[in-house]
Amino acid sequence: MNQKYESLFTPWKVGNVEIKNRVVMLPMEGTNMIQWEAKRGFVKGIGEFYDERRDNNVGLFIPGLIPLISIVGKKWLHENPKVFEPVKPIIRRIHDSGAKIFFQLSAGSGRSMLLPPVLRPFVKKGLLKKLTSGMIMTKWWWSAPDDDEPNVWDPSVKMDFFTEDMIKQFVYAFGQSAKLCKEAGVDGVEIHAVHEGYLLDQFAMKYTNHRDDEYGGSLENRLRFACDVVREIKRVCGEDFPVSLRYSVCSMTRGFNEGAVPGETFEEVGRDLQESEKAVRILEEAGYDLFNCDNGTYDAWFWAHPPVYAPLNINLSYVEHIKRFTSKPVVCAGRLQPDAAAESIAAGKIDAMGVGRQLLADPEYITKIKEDRMDEIRPCIACHGACLPFNGMNGKGTDIDPFGLEMARCVVNPWTNNETKYSKEPARTSKKIAVVGGGIGGMEVAIEASHRGHKVDLYEKTDRLGGVFNAAAAMSYKEKDKDLLRWFERELRSTDTVIHLNEEVSDLSKLDADIIVIAVGAKARTLNIPGSERSVTATDFLEGNTDDADNVVIIGGGLTGCEIAYELALKGKHPSVVEMTENIVGARGICMANSSMLRELLRYHEVPVYLNSQVEEIRDGETVVRTPEGKKVIPADKVVMSVGYTPDRHFVQAAGSREKDRVFFVGDCDNVGNLKTVIRQAFELVQKISY
């Protein structure tokens, strides 16, 4: 073990429970063991998911939240003890590994509730609110501390008032549900949460709590609900039963659906650092044994789920600060790197490292740290493309559709949470496979096929692997993307794949192969406008030298265009974005944490964004843009076209219909998608040809 990581592997205590090391696997959407509303008892495959991680040096597991009451009907968790039976063997296996486990209990999300679009018209008309007998949905799920509080995802939907009687019922339910958890064999519970703007946090913040009863007004009153919860659990389960609190040190919120970005000076409307110092003392005195910390609310969601644009260790200094105001241990989360965590733990500034999505990307993450195999770690790139369900089309999330969206899966590791769907067994018949194209899709096919026992030749026409992802990873804040490229190349070269660089395939018939996989990517689209020959594509711009360009006009306000604008702003340049629709970063499949942070960063850096606008002409040193207010001439040293891609189909005709069982197309040459679609398609193709 590298000496600098030694502190990560020392024991510590939460109450009377000793934990073998300082690594906490954090609760995430889709890692919930109790899917009790469907009366299934547990999520299919969740045992296999935890088995891979329990054997890889995690000290404490905190699975995803368990709601105290069902969304469908008035069903209380504590009235359904049988749902805990199927997970008891999983709990025992976790204990057999020497790890501990806390279950996370939740009162709900209040104004942060994600309403399915199909139900919103009924909520707005008040029809669902009349059906509080439990026939469809319970009133709890659209209630908040304040009457008429707007819903985060759809401000036109107003929340109901969470009454004192409801509070008392929930306090009782917390105690009884915690008792069930204890009887099931868990080592403690975590309360979700004075955190992220969920219901208990809405009570805690003056921004969302304007009550004039004993649960509003002073900080002590606003924290009363959360304090009553831990007191009830201790009364029912005993003082020595540990209770953790998921806790946001600061709200980082400027206003409704307005988050502050790192380094910004702003007026906090939620919980600032000074109030947090007082709050953590009140909560400790009430009985909480552990504070599981980060920052943010749903208005500033990217602090709790830091995207690629967030600095590494984004929350560490805040958690180190709050540690000074409590005698209880604290956990820090948020792109926390093991070297920074180990140093902070060794100095006594925090007590444990919270790890979430990196353990989706690589179940062996902690083992590889312990065994000093850092170069083998498959990195999380903070894309949130498969681990978070909240993907939408616009700035406020009102077009979000939660049905069919994934949770706790991983863009870079398709195996995660599909352990019962896929196989890693050797192929039934070893085949000779030729892969044409050395981008991410081609490398994924080659790696997986080699692991399954196939003989693979990979052909790349250039002198390097990675394809268009080299351009995507070029930006300064994409350090984990660069790590992913290195990981792919390392994994590929560790297999028996024969790699042919600088070798362009023009005739498929000359390939000696049972299976041919085409993974040649896509071609950048351009617009036919006067002066377009003066522009460059996003890929060419990113891979070229951009230092000579100060005023850069970017045509297209999608993800890539806005990322380029942010990169230029970081370098002190003067980018402008021209977008023909009413939103930037508006494509489906982009997590709201990522899109909202990118929008806030462009706002903070004062990048001009022209919506509902089009470039009419590109001239020497300037562009002519038609905006809703009329024509505008914008200075432009360079114009970047970031308007999407079209599949490179030049092999389609050569393959012909006769080859449909021998020639396969993977990635953008088949259908333009994203990193998730190309990796998963490549992975599933190998599953198919190995069966």
Amino acid, single-letter form, for residue 153: W
Give the residue among 405, 411, 309 at the shortest CA–CA distance from 357.
411
227-232 long-range contacts (CB < 8 A, ≥24 apart) are: 227/282, 227/283, 227/286, 227/287, 228/167, 228/171, 229/107, 229/170, 229/171, 229/174, 229/191, 229/200, 230/191, 230/283, 230/286, 230/287, 230/288, 231/286, 231/287, 232/171, 232/172, 232/174, 232/175
Instruction: Give the number of other Cβ atoms within 10 Å of residue 287's Cβ.
Output: 17
CA distances from 134 to 75, 108, 131 (A): 8, 16, 7
Distance (Å, whole) CA 32 – CA 28? 8
Residues 523 and 654: their CA atoms lie apart, in Å, by: 18
SS3 70: coil
Full 3-state SS string of 20-65: CCCEEECCCCCCCCCCHHHCCCCCCCHHHHHHHHHCCCCCEECCCC
Which residue matches tokens 């993974």? 519
Give the length of the chain: 691
The answer to whether 5 is a known catalytic residue is no
Q: Which of 223, 664, 615, 611 has the alpha carbon at shortest distance from 434?
A: 664
Closest CA to 508 of 662, 646, 672: 662
- The strand pairing partners of 375, in sequence order, are none
Task: Name the pairing type of β-strands 455-460 and 522-524.
Answer: unpaired
**Local structure of residue 81 (DSSP, 8 states):** G
**Which token pair is 650?**
């030049």
CA distance 373 to 141: 46
State how far the Cα of 88 lies from the Cα of 215, in Å rounded to an integer: 37
**Number of other CB atoms surrounding residue 506 within 10 Å:** 10
For residues 489 and 443, the answer to whether their CB atoms sit within 8 Å is yes
Q: Are strands 614-619 and 622-627 parallel, antiparallel or unpaired?
A: antiparallel
Residue that is written with structure tokens 């899109």 in the block: 595
CA distance 422 to 112: 35
Residue among 419, 673, 643 at smallest CA distance from 532: 643
CA distance 352 to 62: 13
Which of the residues 5, 50, 172, 198 is marked catalytic? 198
Alpha carbons 409 and 667: distance in angstroms, whole number? 19
Q: Look-up: residue for tokens 């026409």? A: 461
517 in Cβ contact with 685 (< 8 Å): yes
Side chain identity at 566, as an amino acid letter? Y
Instruction: Name 375's Cβ contacts closer than 8 Å, sequence gap at least 6.
Output: 486, 490
In sequence order, the β-bridge partners of residue 458 are: 435, 499
Q: Which token pair is 484?
A: 């992913």
d(CA 222, CA 576): 44
Residues β-bridged to residue 522 = 647
Q: Give catalytic residue positions.
A: 198
